[in-house]
Protein backbone atom coordinates (compact mmCIF):
# COMPACT_ATOMS: atom_id res chain seq x y z
CA UNK A 1 0.00 0.00 0.00
CA UNK A 2 2.60 2.55 -1.04
CA UNK A 3 1.87 6.12 -0.14
CA UNK A 4 3.66 9.43 -0.02
CA UNK A 5 3.55 11.85 2.87
CA UNK A 6 1.68 15.14 2.85
CA UNK A 7 3.31 17.89 0.83
CA UNK A 8 2.67 21.42 2.04
CA UNK A 9 3.46 24.63 0.16
CA UNK A 10 7.13 25.35 -0.40
CA UNK A 11 6.57 28.87 0.88
CA UNK A 12 6.20 27.54 4.41
CA UNK A 13 9.60 27.62 6.07
CA UNK A 14 8.49 24.78 8.31
CA UNK A 15 6.91 22.53 5.73
CA UNK A 16 7.28 18.73 6.16
CA UNK A 17 9.68 18.81 3.22
CA UNK A 18 12.23 20.62 5.39
CA UNK A 19 14.89 18.22 6.65
CA UNK A 20 16.82 18.66 9.83
CA UNK A 21 20.53 18.55 8.92
CA UNK A 22 21.45 17.60 12.47
CA UNK A 23 19.65 14.26 12.18
CA UNK A 24 21.74 11.73 10.30
CA UNK A 25 19.96 8.42 9.85
CA UNK A 26 22.37 5.47 10.03
CA UNK A 27 22.69 3.91 6.59
CA UNK A 28 24.06 0.63 5.30
CA UNK A 29 25.44 -0.46 1.93
CA UNK A 30 22.68 -0.85 -0.69
CA UNK A 31 20.78 -4.11 -0.65
CA UNK A 32 18.33 -5.53 -3.18
CA UNK A 33 14.64 -5.11 -2.55
CA UNK A 34 13.37 -7.99 -0.38
CA UNK A 35 10.58 -10.08 -1.85
CA UNK A 36 8.93 -10.91 1.46
CA UNK A 37 8.79 -9.91 5.11
CA UNK A 38 10.89 -12.95 5.90
CA UNK A 39 13.63 -11.69 3.59
CA UNK A 40 13.41 -8.21 5.15
CA UNK A 41 13.84 -9.69 8.62
CA UNK A 42 16.77 -11.78 7.38
CA UNK A 43 18.54 -8.64 6.06
CA UNK A 44 17.93 -6.69 9.24
CA UNK A 45 19.03 -9.40 11.64
CA UNK A 46 22.19 -10.19 9.69
CA UNK A 47 23.22 -6.52 9.38
CA UNK A 48 22.23 -5.67 12.97
CA UNK A 49 21.97 -1.94 12.23
CA UNK A 50 22.58 0.22 15.34
CA UNK A 51 19.22 1.36 16.69
CA UNK A 52 18.69 5.11 17.03
CA UNK A 53 15.21 5.08 18.57
CA UNK A 54 14.63 7.36 21.61
CA UNK A 55 15.00 4.40 23.99
CA UNK A 56 18.24 3.04 22.56
CA UNK A 57 19.76 6.44 21.75
CA UNK A 58 18.57 8.90 24.42
CA UNK A 59 21.38 11.36 23.56
CA UNK A 60 20.56 11.72 19.88
CA UNK A 61 20.29 15.30 18.50
CA UNK A 62 17.36 17.47 19.51
CA UNK A 63 15.02 19.21 17.09
CA UNK A 64 16.20 22.76 16.24
CA UNK A 65 12.59 23.96 16.63
CA UNK A 66 12.13 22.51 20.11
CA UNK A 67 11.47 25.93 21.61
CA UNK A 68 8.30 26.11 19.47
CA UNK A 69 6.94 22.69 20.39
CA UNK A 70 3.40 22.60 21.71
CA UNK A 71 3.25 20.92 25.13
CA UNK A 72 1.16 17.74 25.09
CA UNK A 73 -0.42 15.90 27.97
CA UNK A 74 -3.42 13.69 28.54
CA UNK A 75 -5.95 15.33 30.86
CA UNK A 76 -8.17 12.92 32.84
CA UNK A 77 -11.88 13.68 32.79
CA UNK A 78 -15.26 11.93 32.76
CA UNK A 79 -17.63 11.35 29.87
CA UNK A 80 -21.41 11.82 29.90
CA UNK A 81 -21.85 8.34 31.34
CA UNK A 82 -19.60 9.15 34.29
CA UNK A 83 -16.72 6.90 33.23
CA UNK A 84 -13.12 8.10 33.35
CA UNK A 85 -11.65 9.22 30.04
CA UNK A 86 -9.23 11.73 28.52
CA UNK A 87 -10.42 15.14 27.34
CA UNK A 88 -10.30 15.60 23.54
CA UNK A 89 -6.87 16.57 22.29
CA UNK A 90 -6.60 19.91 20.56
CA UNK A 91 -3.36 19.76 18.63
CA UNK A 92 -1.50 22.48 16.76
CA UNK A 93 -1.00 21.93 13.05
CA UNK A 94 2.51 21.73 11.62
CA UNK A 95 3.66 25.14 10.41
CA UNK A 96 1.58 27.00 13.01
CA UNK A 97 3.15 29.14 15.73
CA UNK A 98 3.77 25.93 17.64
CA UNK A 99 3.51 22.30 16.60
CA UNK A 100 4.02 18.94 18.28
CA UNK A 101 7.29 17.13 18.83
CA UNK A 102 7.00 13.92 16.80
CA UNK A 103 8.00 11.45 19.52
CA UNK A 104 5.78 13.13 22.11
CA UNK A 105 2.91 13.22 19.62
CA UNK A 106 3.16 9.46 19.08
CA UNK A 107 3.61 8.74 22.80
CA UNK A 108 0.46 10.79 23.52
CA UNK A 109 -1.87 9.56 20.79
CA UNK A 110 -1.30 5.83 21.44
CA UNK A 111 -2.77 5.77 24.98
CA UNK A 112 -5.42 8.27 23.87
CA UNK A 113 -6.85 5.81 21.32
CA UNK A 114 -6.12 2.65 23.29
CA UNK A 115 -9.11 2.85 25.66
CA UNK A 116 -12.06 0.52 26.32
CA UNK A 117 -15.28 1.68 24.69
CA UNK A 118 -16.90 2.90 27.92
CA UNK A 119 -13.81 4.96 28.78
CA UNK A 120 -13.74 7.02 25.60
CA UNK A 121 -14.61 10.70 25.78
CA UNK A 122 -17.91 11.97 24.36
CA UNK A 123 -16.30 13.07 21.08
CA UNK A 124 -14.79 9.63 20.56
CA UNK A 125 -18.08 7.91 21.48
CA UNK A 126 -19.96 9.98 18.91
CA UNK A 127 -17.37 9.04 16.30
CA UNK A 128 -17.77 5.34 17.12
CA UNK A 129 -21.57 5.53 16.89
CA UNK A 130 -21.41 7.35 13.54
CA UNK A 131 -19.01 4.71 12.21
CA UNK A 132 -21.27 1.87 13.43
CA UNK A 133 -24.25 3.54 11.71
CA UNK A 134 -22.31 3.56 8.44
CA UNK A 135 -21.35 -0.11 8.87
CA UNK A 136 -24.98 -1.07 9.41
CA UNK A 137 -26.09 0.96 6.41
CA UNK A 138 -23.47 -0.68 4.15
CA UNK A 139 -23.52 -4.12 5.79
CA UNK A 140 -24.62 -5.96 2.66
CA UNK A 141 -21.86 -4.39 0.57
CA UNK A 142 -19.24 -5.11 3.25
CA UNK A 143 -20.28 -8.75 3.59
CA UNK A 144 -20.56 -9.47 -0.14
CA UNK A 145 -17.42 -10.16 -2.23
CA UNK A 146 -17.05 -7.63 -5.04
CA UNK A 147 -15.97 -10.22 -7.59
CA UNK A 148 -16.91 -13.84 -8.17
CA UNK A 149 -14.29 -16.43 -7.13
CA UNK A 150 -11.96 -17.73 -9.78
CA UNK A 151 -12.31 -21.14 -11.34
CA UNK A 152 -9.97 -22.70 -8.79
CA UNK A 153 -12.17 -21.55 -5.90
CA UNK A 154 -9.66 -18.95 -4.76
CA UNK A 155 -10.27 -15.26 -4.28
CA UNK A 156 -9.19 -12.41 -6.52
CA UNK A 157 -5.42 -12.88 -6.15
CA UNK A 158 -2.98 -15.76 -6.17
CA UNK A 159 0.81 -16.07 -5.68
CA UNK A 160 2.95 -15.71 -8.81
CA UNK A 161 5.74 -17.89 -7.39
CA UNK A 162 8.12 -14.94 -7.06
CA UNK A 163 6.90 -13.49 -3.78
CA UNK A 164 4.27 -11.33 -5.51
CA UNK A 165 0.65 -11.70 -6.53
CA UNK A 166 -1.31 -11.66 -9.78
CA UNK A 167 -5.02 -11.13 -10.33
CA UNK A 168 -7.23 -14.07 -11.22
CA UNK A 169 -9.40 -14.11 -14.31
CA UNK A 170 -12.37 -12.32 -12.71
CA UNK A 171 -11.54 -8.59 -12.50
CA UNK A 172 -13.24 -5.87 -10.50
CA UNK A 173 -15.74 -4.24 -12.84
CA UNK A 174 -17.23 -1.52 -10.64
CA UNK A 175 -15.40 1.80 -10.34
CA UNK A 176 -13.82 2.62 -7.01
CA UNK A 177 -15.92 5.75 -6.58
CA UNK A 178 -19.08 3.67 -6.96
CA UNK A 179 -17.97 1.24 -4.27
CA UNK A 180 -17.11 4.05 -1.84
CA UNK A 181 -18.50 7.46 -2.90
CA UNK A 182 -16.50 10.56 -2.00
CA UNK A 183 -18.97 11.83 0.67
CA UNK A 184 -18.79 8.49 2.48
CA UNK A 185 -14.98 8.46 2.35
CA UNK A 186 -14.88 11.96 3.87
CA UNK A 187 -17.46 10.89 6.47
CA UNK A 188 -15.27 7.93 7.52
CA UNK A 189 -12.13 10.09 7.61
CA UNK A 190 -13.85 12.49 10.00
CA UNK A 191 -15.09 9.60 12.17
CA UNK A 192 -11.61 8.11 12.40
CA UNK A 193 -10.10 11.50 13.29
CA UNK A 194 -12.59 11.94 16.13
CA UNK A 195 -12.03 8.41 17.47
CA UNK A 196 -8.28 7.93 17.10
CA UNK A 197 -6.46 11.13 16.17
CA UNK A 198 -7.49 13.79 18.66
CA UNK A 199 -10.35 15.47 16.84
CA UNK A 200 -11.21 17.19 13.56
CA UNK A 201 -8.82 18.43 10.91
CA UNK A 202 -10.33 21.31 8.89
CA UNK A 203 -11.04 21.20 5.14
CA UNK A 204 -10.81 17.48 4.41
CA UNK A 205 -11.31 16.39 0.81
CA UNK A 206 -11.20 13.03 -0.97
CA UNK A 207 -10.74 12.52 -4.70
CA UNK A 208 -10.27 9.54 -6.99
CA UNK A 209 -7.44 9.69 -9.53
CA UNK A 210 -5.40 7.24 -11.60
CA UNK A 211 -2.30 6.55 -9.48
CA UNK A 212 -0.55 3.67 -11.20
CA UNK A 213 0.90 1.30 -8.63
CA UNK A 214 -0.25 3.35 -5.63
CA UNK A 215 -3.51 2.84 -3.79
CA UNK A 216 -3.51 6.30 -2.23
CA UNK A 217 -1.67 9.27 -0.82
CA UNK A 218 -2.35 12.51 1.05
CA UNK A 219 -1.35 16.02 0.01
CA UNK A 220 -1.93 19.63 1.08
CA UNK A 221 -2.64 22.20 -1.62
CA UNK A 222 -2.30 25.26 0.61
CA UNK A 223 -5.98 25.39 1.53
CA UNK A 224 -7.24 21.89 2.11
CA UNK A 225 -6.00 18.41 2.98
CA UNK A 226 -6.69 15.96 0.15
CA UNK A 227 -6.75 12.17 0.36
CA UNK A 228 -6.31 10.70 -3.12
CA UNK A 229 -7.47 7.15 -3.81
CA UNK A 230 -6.75 5.18 -6.97
CA UNK A 231 -9.80 4.93 -9.20
CA UNK A 232 -8.49 1.89 -11.10
CA UNK A 233 -8.00 -0.93 -8.61
CA UNK A 234 -7.90 -3.88 -10.99
CA UNK A 235 -4.11 -4.16 -10.71
CA UNK A 236 -3.72 -3.86 -6.95
CA UNK A 237 -3.02 -6.65 -4.52
CA UNK A 238 -5.67 -6.55 -1.81
CA UNK A 239 -5.39 -7.59 1.81
CA UNK A 240 -8.91 -9.00 2.20
CA UNK A 241 -9.44 -10.77 -1.10
CA UNK A 242 -12.67 -9.93 -2.89
CA UNK A 243 -14.14 -7.98 0.04
CA UNK A 244 -13.41 -4.71 -1.66
CA UNK A 245 -15.18 -2.31 0.70
CA UNK A 246 -13.35 -3.90 3.62
CA UNK A 247 -10.09 -3.21 1.80
CA UNK A 248 -10.95 0.46 1.42
CA UNK A 249 -11.45 0.83 5.17
CA UNK A 250 -7.84 -0.27 5.66
CA UNK A 251 -6.60 2.04 2.89
CA UNK A 252 -8.34 5.06 4.44
CA UNK A 253 -6.98 4.25 7.91
CA UNK A 254 -3.50 3.86 6.39
CA UNK A 255 -3.80 7.34 4.91
CA UNK A 256 -5.28 8.75 8.14
CA UNK A 257 -2.09 7.86 10.02
CA UNK A 258 0.02 9.68 7.40
CA UNK A 259 -2.28 12.68 7.54
CA UNK A 260 -2.21 12.84 11.34
CA UNK A 261 1.58 12.72 11.61
CA UNK A 262 2.26 15.13 8.76
CA UNK A 263 -0.42 17.60 9.83
CA UNK A 264 0.49 17.88 13.50
CA UNK A 265 4.16 16.89 13.88
CA UNK A 266 6.92 19.47 13.81
CA UNK A 267 8.74 19.14 10.44
CA UNK A 268 12.10 19.41 12.17
CA UNK A 269 11.35 16.21 14.10
CA UNK A 270 11.40 13.99 11.02
CA UNK A 271 14.13 11.75 12.40
CA UNK A 272 11.71 8.86 13.05
CA UNK A 273 9.63 9.14 9.89
CA UNK A 274 11.75 10.50 7.07
CA UNK A 275 12.65 7.26 5.27
CA UNK A 276 10.81 4.43 3.54
CA UNK A 277 8.10 6.67 2.13
CA UNK A 278 7.04 7.87 5.56
CA UNK A 279 6.55 4.29 6.83
CA UNK A 280 9.38 4.36 9.36
CA UNK A 281 9.35 4.38 13.15
CA UNK A 282 6.65 6.94 14.04
CA UNK A 283 4.18 5.75 11.41
CA UNK A 284 4.75 2.09 12.30
CA UNK A 285 4.00 2.66 15.99
CA UNK A 286 0.73 4.49 15.39
CA UNK A 287 -0.39 2.15 12.59
CA UNK A 288 0.26 -0.91 14.77
CA UNK A 289 -1.93 0.50 17.54
CA UNK A 290 -4.71 1.28 15.03
CA UNK A 291 -4.60 -2.34 13.83
CA UNK A 292 -4.86 -3.55 17.42
CA UNK A 293 -7.69 -1.22 18.49
CA UNK A 294 -10.07 -1.11 15.50
CA UNK A 295 -11.42 -4.72 15.57
CA UNK A 296 -12.58 -4.52 19.18
CA UNK A 297 -13.79 -0.93 19.01
CA UNK A 298 -15.45 -0.80 15.58
CA UNK A 299 -16.01 -4.46 14.77
CA UNK A 300 -14.10 -4.99 11.51
CA UNK A 301 -10.60 -6.32 10.76
CA UNK A 302 -7.97 -4.01 9.30
CA UNK A 303 -4.53 -4.42 7.82
CA UNK A 304 -2.58 -1.24 7.15
CA UNK A 305 -0.01 -3.19 5.09
CA UNK A 306 2.80 -2.04 7.35
CA UNK A 307 5.28 -4.66 6.25
CA UNK A 308 4.52 -4.49 2.56
CA UNK A 309 4.73 -0.70 2.64
CA UNK A 310 8.33 -0.99 3.81
CA UNK A 311 9.09 -3.33 0.93
CA UNK A 312 7.31 -1.23 -1.72
CA UNK A 313 9.17 1.91 -0.60
CA UNK A 314 12.51 0.11 -0.36
CA UNK A 315 15.49 2.36 -1.12
CA UNK A 316 18.11 -0.28 -0.45
CA UNK A 317 20.03 1.89 2.00
CA UNK A 318 18.08 2.55 5.20
CA UNK A 319 17.55 -0.60 7.26
CA UNK A 320 15.30 -1.10 10.32
CA UNK A 321 17.13 -2.31 13.42
CA UNK A 322 16.38 -5.52 15.28
CA UNK A 323 14.77 -3.38 17.96
CA UNK A 324 12.45 -1.84 15.35
CA UNK A 325 11.32 -5.20 13.99
CA UNK A 326 10.53 -6.55 17.45
CA UNK A 327 8.40 -3.52 18.32
CA UNK A 328 6.69 -3.16 14.94
CA UNK A 329 5.27 -6.75 14.90
CA UNK A 330 5.14 -6.84 11.11
CA UNK A 331 4.26 -10.50 10.76
CA UNK A 332 0.53 -11.33 10.69
CA UNK A 333 0.45 -15.13 10.13
CA UNK A 334 -3.32 -15.41 9.71
CA UNK A 335 -3.46 -12.79 6.95
CA UNK A 336 -0.30 -14.16 5.34
CA UNK A 337 -2.01 -17.55 5.06
CA UNK A 338 -5.06 -15.94 3.45
CA UNK A 339 -2.81 -14.20 0.90
CA UNK A 340 -1.06 -17.46 0.06
CA UNK A 341 -4.28 -19.46 -0.27
CA UNK A 342 -6.49 -16.69 -1.63
CA UNK A 343 -9.33 -17.92 0.58
CA UNK A 344 -12.29 -15.52 0.80
CA UNK A 345 -13.92 -17.94 3.24
CA UNK A 346 -11.29 -17.11 5.84
CA UNK A 347 -11.95 -13.39 5.33
CA UNK A 348 -15.68 -13.91 5.83
CA UNK A 349 -15.09 -15.83 9.05
CA UNK A 350 -12.70 -13.17 10.37
CA UNK A 351 -15.23 -10.45 9.52
CA UNK A 352 -18.05 -12.31 11.25
CA UNK A 353 -16.01 -12.73 14.42
CA UNK A 354 -14.96 -9.09 14.64
CA UNK A 355 -18.45 -7.79 13.75
CA UNK A 356 -19.91 -9.70 16.69
CA UNK A 357 -17.80 -7.56 19.01
CA UNK A 358 -19.82 -4.46 18.06
CA UNK A 359 -23.05 -6.23 17.01
CA UNK A 360 -23.48 -4.41 13.69
CA UNK A 361 -23.91 -7.49 11.49
CA UNK A 362 -27.43 -8.98 11.03
CA UNK A 363 -27.95 -12.57 12.17
CA UNK A 364 -28.51 -13.73 8.59
CA UNK A 365 -24.80 -13.14 7.87
CA UNK A 366 -23.45 -14.87 10.97
Give the pLDDT confidence of 187-216 residue by residue, as tens digits: 999 999 999 999 888 889 999 988 877 788
Q: CA 294, 183, 199, 3 torsion: positive or negative?
A: positive
Question: What is the structure's pLDDT at 308?
Answer: 81
- At 35 the pLDDT is 80
Residue 229, classed as helix, strand or coil, is: strand
Q: Quote the CA–CA distance of 175 and 190 in Å, as a whole number.
A: 23
Q: Is the dihedral of CA 119, 123, 124, 127 positive or negative?
A: positive
What is the enclosing helix (H) or strand (E) of 204?
Answer: strand 204-209
pLDDT of 184: 95
Is residue 277 a contact partner of residue 261, using CB atoms and an 8 Å limit?
no
**Rounded Cα distance, 205 and 182, in Å:** 8
Q: What is the DSSP string of 58-104?
A: TTSPPPTTGGGBPP----EEE-TTS-EEEPPP-PPPTTSSSBB-HHH
Please list the ranges in the chain whose pLDDT falls under 50. 1-25, 148-173, 338-339
What mean pLDDT value characterizes the chain? 76
SS3 assignment, position 216: strand
Sign for the pseudo-dihedral over CA of 321, 322, 325, 327: negative
pLDDT score, position 110: 95
Q: What gap in Å lies between CA 253 and CA 258, rounded to an integer?
A: 9
Quick one: pLDDT at residue 134? 95
In a 3-state reduction of DSSP, which class is residue 157? strand
Amino acid sequence: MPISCIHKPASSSRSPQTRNPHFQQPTMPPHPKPKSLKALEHYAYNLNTPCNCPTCSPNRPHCPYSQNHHSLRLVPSRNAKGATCYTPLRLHASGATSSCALTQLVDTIIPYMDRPYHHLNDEQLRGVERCILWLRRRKKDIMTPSAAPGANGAGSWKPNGDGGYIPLSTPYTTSAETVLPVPEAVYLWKCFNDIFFGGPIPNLHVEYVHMGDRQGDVKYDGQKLIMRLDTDTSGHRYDFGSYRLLNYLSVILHECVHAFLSWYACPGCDFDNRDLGGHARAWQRVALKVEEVVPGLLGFPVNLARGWSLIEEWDGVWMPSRCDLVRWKLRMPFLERMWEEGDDGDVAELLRRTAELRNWMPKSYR
